[in-house]
Amino acid sequence: MSTNKKVTTASAGFTLIELMIAMVIVGLVLASVIGVFTRSNRLYTLENARSSLQLEMQSAVEVMARDMRMAVYDPMNSKNFEIKTAQAIHFRFASDLNENGVIDLGAAATAGCEVTSFRYSAANNKVDWICGENTGSQELEPLIGDTDIQVTGLDFDYRNNQNLVETNIYEISGVVITLNAQISAGQAGMESRSYSTWVDLRNAGPNASKN
Phi-psi map region of 30: left, alpha, beta (phi>0 left; psi -120 to 50 alpha): alpha
Give me the pLDDT at residue 21, please. 81
Residue 11's pLDDT band, with cuts at 50, 70 and 90, is low
Q: 87: number of CA atoms within 13 Å, CB side?
A: 9
Strand, helix or coil at 145?
Answer: coil
Average pLDDT of the chain, as a whole number: 86
CA distance 84 to 142: 21
Q: State pLDDT tens for residues 166-199.
A: 999 999 999 999 999 999 888 778 899 999 999 9
CA distance 115 to 70: 11
Residue 210's pLDDT band, with cuts at 50, 70 and 90, is very low
129 pLDDT higher than 90: yes
Give this prediction's pTM: 0.78
Nearest alpha carbon to residue 95 among 71, 68, 130: 71
